[in-house]
Amino acid sequence: MNYLVISAHDYRSRRKAGVHFITAELARRGQARFFSCQYSKLSELKSDPRLSLDALANRKGMHEGVECYLWKTPIHPFNMRKPALRPLEAMLFKLYVGFASPVLKAWIREADVVVFESGIAPIFFELVTRLNPAAKTVYLASDDLETINVASYVKRTFDRIAPRMGALCLKSRFMLDGVPASDNRYIVPHGFDFSVADHADPSPYPAGQHAVAVGSMLFDPGFFVIASKLFPDITFHVIGSGKGAQDGYGPNVKVYDEMPHKTTLPYIKHATIGIAPYRADGLPAYLSDTSLKLMQYDFFGLPAVCPHGIVGDYRSRFGYTPGDPASIDAAIRAALAAPRRTFRTPLTWAAVTDRLLDPARFDDTRIPAFADRAPAVMPATAQAATP
């Protein structure tokens, strides 16, 4: 089988997301190709994590068994935000597809399965159906389109073509409102790489209590301004936030640059508690099910502190209100007193990929009739038996 993944990530990036693990699994099953789009000189303005790969742009390369291509254009289409500019926005997107990379076109023609990751990728759906109508098409909903603020043109295009895709695979029931109602929707939860346990020793910490936070998504530095003063005896380790040391951080806050994923694992396993310091604005409820950092904390039995909105029904998490010292104090104290336990077992990435490629074959991917009523707490679909 020949698999093609279209994404605004790049498979060679140091920062790993779910699409990277799925692609690695696809490479074990056949030929996997990863086409990275929405990259140009404009990307420098947003500190795109692919900037470190700029020298590799516009040429094919192999990375860990996956053929990769980072398509760099002079400019790329983007969300122009203002309604008056939507005709110009639409024109740029249409030109982007109309002058699609010859590499993308060739890879589409040769693909048996095309995976479109949420974001800009769905704008290429009709190009796929025109060049290769026999290809199986799968939408991988890593994020809700409204949450990541895609351009109006992208959202309109997705709403139009979504019912025609082979499968819409959502990582959380909280994403249901973001996709058109159709019978090709499935719940395929976030997977987990159980091999992380092999890379999580030895401890990088001296004696004492240590709290760790990993990642930059919706990062709220204000949490550490408050927490470092409330708990001067805890050392807070902030890894890869993308912001550096901030005014107001106490001397007990240690800030690290972004690290390779495996390098972060000892910091997570041997911490006393984990922190998911998401800011309140724009915090999507589905993060309760898709946050990789929270899944890693739970895997290592680490009590976690996070905003109330993403505690969900996870007993290892303790919620707080961003910006509120009293609730931050209470959440940290509760986490410090909690036992180190893993309360649920996620699916392996192999099991996730099985469901992604043929979701109708699995009972645990189906959406019950009540799901459209947006439950306050998502049932633990990820508790399905792990192969």
- Nearest Cα to 123, choosing from 142, 95, 146? 95
pLDDT above 80: residue 43: yes
Percent of the chain whose pLDDT exceeds 70: 95
State yes or no: pLDDT of 385 exceeds 70: no
Q: What is the pTM of this model?
A: 0.84
- pLDDT of 379 reads 33
User: What's the CA gap between 11 and 26, in Å, rounded?
Assistant: 12
DSSP string, 66-111: EEEEEEEESS-------GGGHHHHHHHHHHHHHT--HHHHHHHHH-
Superfamily (CATH H level) for 194-337: Glycogen Phosphorylase B; (3.40.50.2000)
Q: Which residues, 6+ apart, have CB-to-CB distance to 369 below 8 Å?
A: none
| Domain residue extents for the chain | 2-190, 194-337
In the structure, what pLDDT confidence band is assigned to residue 384 with cuts at 50, 70 and 90?
very low
What's the CA gap between 207 and 209, in Å, rounded?
7
Nearest to 290 by CA among 89, 100, 141: 141
Summarised one tens digit per residue, pLDDT across range 139-167 is 999 999 998 889 999 999 999 999 999 99
**Which residues are the active-site residues?**
143
**What's the 3-state SS for 324-353?**
CHHHHHHHHHHHHHCCCCCCCCCEEHHHHH
pLDDT confidence tier of residue 47, bands split at 50, 70 and 90: confident
Whether the CA torsion 257, 262, 267, 272 is positive or negative: it is positive
Q: Is residue 374's pLDDT more than 80?
A: no
> Once rounded to an integer, what is the mean pLDDT over residues 6-28?
93
Residue 22 has pLDDT above 90, yes or no: yes
User: How far apart, in whole angstroms, are the C-alpha atoms of residue 236 and residue 239?
Assistant: 10
Same fold, 2-190 and 194-337: yes
Per-residue pLDDT at 345: 84
H or E stretch including 212? strand 209-214
Q: Report the alpha-carbon distance of residue 96 to residue 58 in Å, rounded.
A: 15
pLDDT at 339 over 90: yes
Sign of the Cα pseudo-torsion (5, 6, 8, 10, in order)? positive
| Structure-model confidence comparison of residues 375 and 371, the more confident one | 371
Torsion of CA 168, 172, 175, 180, to 10 degrees: 30
pLDDT per position as a tens digit, 220-279: 999 999 999 999 999 999 999 988 899 999 999 999 998 888 999 999 999 999 999 999
Burial class (CB in 10 A: 0-12, 13-18, 19+), 369: exposed
| pLDDT for 50 beyond 80 | yes
Asked if residue 326 has pLDDT above 50, the reply is yes
CATH number of 2-190: 3.30.230.10, 3.40.50.11010, 3.20.20.150, 3.40.50.2300? 3.40.50.11010
pLDDT higher than 50, residue 67: yes
pLDDT bin (cut points 50, 70, 90) of residue 306 is very high
Name the average pLDDT for the chain. Answer: 92
pLDDT at 15 over 90: no
Total residues belonging to the chain: 387
For residue 375, pLDDT over 70 is answered with no
pLDDT score, position 64: 96
Provide, rounded to the nearest whole percent, the portion of the chain with pLDDT above 90.
80
More confident residue, 232 or 80: 232
